[in-house]
Structure 1
Amino acid sequence: MGRDHDDDDDDRLAGLFERLRGGGGAAVPTSALGRLRRMAGTALRTARAARKGGGPGEGLGAADPEAIERMVMSLGQLKGIAMKMGQILSYIDAEMPPETQRLLGLLQVYSQPTPFEAIAATIREDVPAEADAILASLDPEPAASASIGQVHRARRPDGTQVAVKVRHPGIDEAIRADFRSASIGKVMGGLMAPGANIKETIVEAQERFLEECDYGLEATRQRRFGELLAGHARVDVPAVHDGWCGQRVLTTTWYDGVGFDRWLATEPSAAERAAVGRALYDFYVGTLYRHGIFNADPHPGNLVFAPYGRLAVLDYGCVRAFDAATVRALAALSEAVRDDDAPKIRDAMVGLGARDPGAAGERFDATRDLLRAFYGPVMERGSHVIAAGASTAIGQAYKTKRAIFRLRVPGKLLFLYRIRFGLYAVLARLGAEADWRAIESELTDGVLSARVP
């Protein structure tokens, strides 16, 4: 009996995974020229497709699998911003062919790892007092290798299983090198946020991505989310183990479970999918409205599903906080867009620091279209499953990009695009049914009904 197409796809995926795992050894390129040369091929051209029309991954559909494999290998070697662009493309474009999506999806959990000798050296430099204890039980084989660091499993002296995340040597310099290249910064900004002030967007992106290199800051943020989510009906935040942490090493409790794709393969019930969908919406959007802080990295590789019905959200490196006035303005904008109230949309946009879109005409129409795409699923009344195309609706906004770019949306709002469209993509793949408009309305009502100090 002949092999079917799915078998060939599985073999290709497995082969690419093994090449990524076995490709460690070379240092992360850190010079701007060297990284630009490496990106100038398939990686940079593919990302630029996001700015030229249809959708973020336009042009990928026609690419042959070997070209996609070469791109994944290149992005996995470069790590940093290049790999993050690949991660975004892997889950935000529902129209991308499944094979392409699966190959790019490897970047959600794996890049070419840093050699164990370099990992051990970093641990000894960063947490010298505990280095021997950490290394005594540290699995030399990484459990995951991502754009900023890689994770190794270990065991505390009391028997607690932990995940030790160690930063790739030189990754902070690599990110700075990427942002010294104006073209790469513009591509990243265009991929994540049409209509934004380009200069402010590049500054915002650089600040947030460099913060991801500071594991001491991430530990603080993870503890904060642990406090905010304590007692949550479904979401867990792994605990931080302070004594085994530094600026380049972060140790958290190991969370047993399976990743997003493997969990979906178990064919969870509609009720289970809906519960998970509501929990994820509450985690990514609810914390913004309730507490003025949100995790801005909603890709599926950060989700772990436990066998007893709970899930953990990993990685708190990319987090954004807003003051109460900004949160209130965002809630007012959401309400105005849902009500299609033109004067309130205009007031809210100006209140957030964007240029006045006017009351009518091309600029206002472009603004309205962009905002309706941004809020996508919450525009529809009643319970429904988020359509697969919801995450690519942003592509339609590019068709009016001249009017949109005149809006000059403040760069500080950059990562709101990422959580909205990233979350929509995850919810669409999840097939979760809920009254998303009612969920959003309850959250914004809570903000707008609160007394202003």
Structure 2
Amino acid sequence: MRPPRPPVSMGGPMASDPSESDDKLPLQGRFNRFRKLAGLSAQLSADVLKNGAKRLAGQEPEFLSKAAAEKLVSTLGELKGAAMKLGQAVSMDTELLSPEVRQVIARLQNEAPHMPYEVVARVLREELGDSPEALFREFEPKPLAAASLGQVHRAVLHDGREVAVKVQYPGIAETLTGDMDNLGLVVKTVSKASRLTDGTAYFQELREEMLLETDYLREAALCTGFARGAARLPDVKVPAVIPERTARRVLTLELLQGRTLKDWVVSGPSAEERFRVARQLILAIYGPFFLQGEMQADPHPGNFMVLEDGRLGVLDFGSIKRFTPRFVDANRRMFLHAVRLESMDVMGLSREVGFTSELPDAEAAPLIQEILHIAGRPMRTTPYDYATCQIPRDMKLHFARNAARFLKIRPPAEAVMFFRSTGGLAQNLKLIGAQGDFRGVFLEVASLL
């Protein structure tokens, strides 16, 4: 047995004072966190105003400077929770940020400041009943990754299997609840004051899904279920759960070997590799959805891994969304019509999905049809180049130009997670920048159904 290493951190030896260690945990208290975010907001607003002045002077400004991005990463990384998840989403927007700034903010995807080893050991003892050294043959004190709700450590089981152990930050469940309650007040106030469509139902869907992510026993069950949905996808790897080393705040999975998508994409992959990984990513998102009604609803580049054996690994299962059969069936038929280039009853299928509309069908149908037309470009065009893809930009423009009418078309609440997943997929594909026969890839998805 390898002797345990002394506790270490990203920057050197750990402090032995418990009070000093606790300072490295996520900031607690709704008011304290709100005040921290308010301070960050003021600094970012000053940066935006400065860039606005550059625009008036005829210069080409960035939406966010590199210095402001560093401040954003530092603050959100310290806060973790919902605030950090928001930063992860921002880091994926290729239209909003320059590549340099996006690379800075991308550190939030799995490189947040981590909690001390003694706190990790305490959580393991509380949840699994013993020390890391007793529970595992080897346990690396330095984390492989630190994210919004917990951090991941490499370990080896007593039978020699290498595993990834995700340990939840103490108090993060309460912290996340406070964050979402703060955001909920904002959503409710804006909805009442602006005469816009009431967004509370959609926010409630997002809130409930995020709060469920703190239950690692639930995540273990979702991982096992997602593996069943991906069973017909040999190029997609879902790690096995280790039940005897899993509890409410500790999740142990088979360790996958490779590089996260965000690290792989900057390593100079060939055109062939880019197409291969883009294809796998499309299959990983749409395959389990159409086959089993489940989707990876937090698809930032830190949640996928390009494995050494060429497959695509899926890493995070707390945000797996299970959809209603009606929602899946109607979307499946809509997809098949689109990929086969067939006409469809847009309003009829939209209602089956769960959409409601205050507009006459003759006015609502073209709006929805244009969404399908923009999203379906890779299904119609061969070859398709995701490096120059304008789908995210054109979607934003379409909604902006027709904002008043879109407020009268309401998707079902569960569509929030669907749009989060498919929107993230579109951003990831643009990030990969592959070119090739993607119509063939979508036909491959259709052949599974």
**TM-score scaled by structure 1?**
0.81
Instruction: Say if 1:111 and 1:145, in contact at 8 Å, map to a contact too.
Output: yes
CA distance in 2, matches of 1:60, 1:18: 34
Task: Give the match's secondary structure for 1:411.
Answer: coil
Task: Give the match's secondary structure for 1:169.
Answer: coil
Pairwise CA RMSD of aligned residues?
Answer: 3.3
In structure 2, stretches of 5+ residues that fail to align are: 1-9, 48-59
CA distance in 2, matches of 1:200, 1:412: 10
Moved more, 394-403 or 71-80: 394-403
1:413 maps to what in 2?
415
1:223 maps to what in 2?
224
Shift of 1:100: 0.8
Counterpart check, 1:149 vs 2:150: yes
Change in 2 beyond 3 A, CA 1:130/1:116: closer
Change in 2 beyond 3 A, CA 1:36/1:324: same
Identify which of structures 1 and 2 has the higher relative contact order when contacts are C-alpha pairs closer than 8 Å and 6+ apart: 1
Task: Give the match's secondary structure for 2:332.
Answer: helix
Change in 2 beyond 3 A, CA 1:94/1:417: same
Counterpart check, 1:287 vs 2:285: no
Q: What percent identity do the matched residue pairs reach? A: 28
1:277 maps to what in 2?
278
Write out aligned runs for 1:247-266 (5 A).
Answer: 247-266=248-267
CA distance in 2, matches of 1:163, 1:445: 34
Moved more, 110-119 or 208-217: 110-119
Change in 2 beyond 3 A, CA 1:32/1:380: farther
Change in 2 beyond 3 A, CA 1:404/1:274: same
- State which of 13, 26, 29 in structure 2 corresponds to 1:28: 26
1:77 maps to what in 2?
78
1:426 aligned partner, one-letter code:
N
CA distance in 2, matches of 1:199, 1:160: 45
Instruction: Say if 2:277 and 2:306, in contact at 8 Å, map to a contact too.
Output: no
Write out aligned runs for 1:17-416 (5 A).
Answer: 25-42=23-40, 61-128=62-129, 132-134=133-135, 137-182=138-183, 186=187, 198-230=199-231, 232-334=233-335, 344-356=345-357, 357-361=359-363, 363-373=364-374, 375-378=375-378, 380-386=380-386, 387-396=388-397, 397-416=399-418
CA distance in 1, matches of 2:394, 2:43: 21
Change in 2 beyond 3 A, CA 1:244/1:214: same
CA distance in 1, matches of 2:185, 2:269: 40
1:14 maps to what in 2?
none
Moved more, 38-47 or 216-225: 38-47
Instruction: Say if 2:76 and 2:84, in contact at 8 Å, map to a contact too.
Output: yes
Q: What are the superposed Cα offsets for residues 33-66 of structure 1, whole Å, 9 maximum, x if unpaired?
A: 222222224459979x9xxxxxxxxx99243221
**TM-score scaled by structure 2?**
0.82
Shift of 1:253: 1.6
Instruction: Say if 2:237 and 2:312, in contact at 8 Å, map to a contact too.
Output: yes
Task: Give the match's secondary structure for 2:239.
Answer: coil
CA distance in 1, matches of 2:173, 2:249: 11
Moved more, 313-322 or 327-336: 327-336
Shift of 1:256: 1.8
Shift of 1:395: 2.4
In structure 1, stretches of 5+ residues that fail to align are: 1-16, 50-58, 448-453
Change in 2 beyond 3 A, CA 1:44/1:408: farther
Change in 2 beyond 3 A, CA 1:43/1:117: farther
Instruction: Say if 2:44 and 2:68, in contact at 8 Å, map to a contact too.
Output: no
Greater C-alpha Rg: 2
CA distance in 2, matches of 1:416, 1:267: 31
Task: Give the match's secondary structure for 2:258.
Answer: coil
Moved more, 82-91 or 31-40: 31-40
CA distance in 1, matches of 2:110, 2:200: 30
